[in-house]
Amino acid sequence: MVERLNGIEEVRGSNPLGSSLRSQRGGERGLSRRNFSEGGRHRPCGYQRSELRLGKPKNGAMKFFYVYILQSEIDPRRFYTGLTDDLRKRIKIHNLGHVRHTSKWRPWRLKTYVAFSDRARAVEFERYLKSASGRAFIKSRL
């Protein structure tokens, strides 16, 4: 403000939304801090939308690993968390009683699942969900 009164217009103000937060060069500008819909380039994800559905992908090139949460139908307070690469088959195995840990509270229904393309990340996420903080997270979200 003092600069404007003295006739100095080249000095930038302290406006945090001015050029200090955004690049002056339009070609290098990524996403705006205020609006994610402007700026940046659209990057396709590399696989078809239909491949993200439950089951096997169409072209067989991409394999998914599912971290799933089952809820017992006879005791709704009982949950089970697991990891598989064939979700439909695994739920059938749980409901047939072939898994000793889950046979007591069957039938089970699928509460939720998350698909991963990387097995290591799926194992990490399953381990987190089985920890105390992960169980608290599940309890507060489901």
State the pTM of this model. 0.57
Chain segment 118-137, per-residue pLDDT in tens: 999 999 999 999 999 999 99
Domain 61-141: CATH superfamily is GIY-YIG endonuclease (3.40.1440.10)
Chain segment 36-77, per-residue pLDDT in tens: 455 555 555 555 555 555 555 556 568 999 999 999 999 999
Q: What number of residues does the chain have?
A: 142
Alpha helices in the chain (DSSP H): 2-5, 87-96, 119-129, 132-141
Interacting residues of 111 by C-beta distance below 8 A, sequence separation 6+: 69, 70, 71, 79, 142
- Whether the pLDDT of residue 104 is over 70: the answer is yes
Q: In the chain, where are the structural domains located?
A: 1-42, 61-141
Q: Using an 8 Å Cβ cutoff, are 83 and 124 in contact? A: no
Chain segment 86-102, per-residue pLDDT in tens: 999 999 999 999 999 99
DSSP-assigned letter for residue 131: S
Q: At what angle do helices 132-141 and 119-129 cross, to 10 degrees?
A: 80
